[in-house]
Amino acid sequence: MENRIKGLDLARTFSIFGMMVVNYHFAFGAFQGNSLLQEAANFFSGRASATFVILAGMGLILFSRKMRENPEDILLKNNTKRLLLNRSLFLFIIGTLDSIYWPADILRSYGVFFLIGSFSLNWKKYQYLIASLLSILIFTVLYILFDFSKDWDTLTFSYNGFWTPTGFLKSLFFNGWNPLFPWIGFFFYGMFLGTHLCEEKNSKKLIGLVSILVFLILFSCSLISEIREIINPSFMKTLYTQKSIFTVNQLPPLPLYYFLSISFANLVILFFWKIGDMYQNSKLVQFLSRVGMYSHTIYLFHIYIGIIIYLIIRNIPSEEAFYSLYGTESIEFMWIFTLAAFMFSSIFCFLWSKFYSAGPLELLVKKLTESKHTY
């Protein structure tokens, strides 16, 4: 743990908390109650998970730093790539199995990101940035050419035909919850950011200022209908009169959402990096950073254990009963439940760390992939 960048673990903790908010918000159907609390929950939608993926890209760069610094060491290169390929396969399998219960699972895509990332470890930093920009460009073109919403049931947020070969691949690459295009772009951006911050140690302030400016401009564009009318390309109006590529929603993940999420992630990462550097010996920082270290474990635990506890508390005996009540849960209850779940998760991480060096799922990943490489 002493070799880790605590600020990145804190940022992971923040993103995990945000994902808990978003997942419980939609899983419980907590759409009733205080409008400010609703907006606070909506604010995390898509941004927390994008930050999580960007941090994964940064983590991969830090994981492979020794290999990148010694490109002539073929044995080190092959061992690093083998470990990453094993890890990506494990995450893909776990994520696919998780999709049976939780269709919005991110680990399936996560595994594919690591698979692709393992073949790009020797890229120059601006190649990662170009790849990130290409990913959102490719998705936007696909969105214009094809109907993104065709396979979705908007009443239940479910993907029709997910377990068919066509549906499985289509959701993975184009119109699922976290499709390869453009989400691999977040991963590539994280790899760019990781290499850039390692090489240009004095660039954090500039990145922060640019991110604030971009976030404010794009968020303003998303709010003001007159601006959207001006910047929405005229050919889009003839092809899709009800659609605009200028939307901040996660589904579909179009340019405004994409660049807003990147600027938001920059600010989150830089803020917590600063906090981690300033207060690295703080007991609170030590306590919270452990949640980020156990992010995969907490991700699965909050879905399975959290939702089961919710069903017990609300005495919901069946799937039919659940859908009959869906949309009636209060946002106030959701926030209380999320904060309690996060608190208990943090306590679990603290107690677990007294006996083990990593979380249960993290230890399993290391054991099955024989990974001895940490950062």
Residues 6+ apart with CB under 8 A from 159: 103, 151, 152, 153, 167, 171, 176, 177
- Kindly report, residue by residue over 332-360, the tens digit of the pLDDT: 999 999 999 999 999 999 999 989 888 89
**142's tokens:** 């696909």
- Kindly report, residue by residue over 18-77, the tens digit of the pLDDT: 999 999 998 898 999 998 999 889 888 888 999 999 999 999 998 888 887 777 878 888
Cα Rg of the chain (Å, integer): 21
- Kindly report, residue by residue over 168-183, the tens digit of the pLDDT: 999 999 988 899 999 9
Rounded-to-integer distance, Cα 273 and Cα 201, Å: 12
pLDDT at 3: 62
Is residue 228 within 8 A of residue 219, CB to CB? The reply is: no
Check pLDDT > 60 for residue 237: no
Written as one letter, the residue type at 65 is R
Q: Rounded mean pLDDT of the chain?
A: 85
**84's tokens:** 């990453």
CB atoms closer than 10 angstroms to residue 97 = 13
Check pLDDT > 80 for residue 247: no
Written as one letter, the residue type at 26 is F
Residues 187-204 have a mean pLDDT of 86
Is residue 3 within 8 A of residue 374, CB to CB? The reply is: yes
- Kindly report, residue by residue over 75-113, the tens digit of the pLDDT: 888 888 888 899 899 999 999 998 888 888 889 999 999
Rounded-to-integer distance, Cα 54 and Cα 375, Å: 17
- Least confidently predicted of 40-54, 127-141, 275-289, 317-331: 317-331
**Bridge partners, residue 153, by sequence:** 158
- Kindly report, residue by residue over 249-308, the tens digit of the pLDDT: 788 888 888 999 999 999 999 999 999 989 888 989 989 988 889 988 999 999 989 999
| Share of residues in the chain with pLDDT > 90 (%) | 45
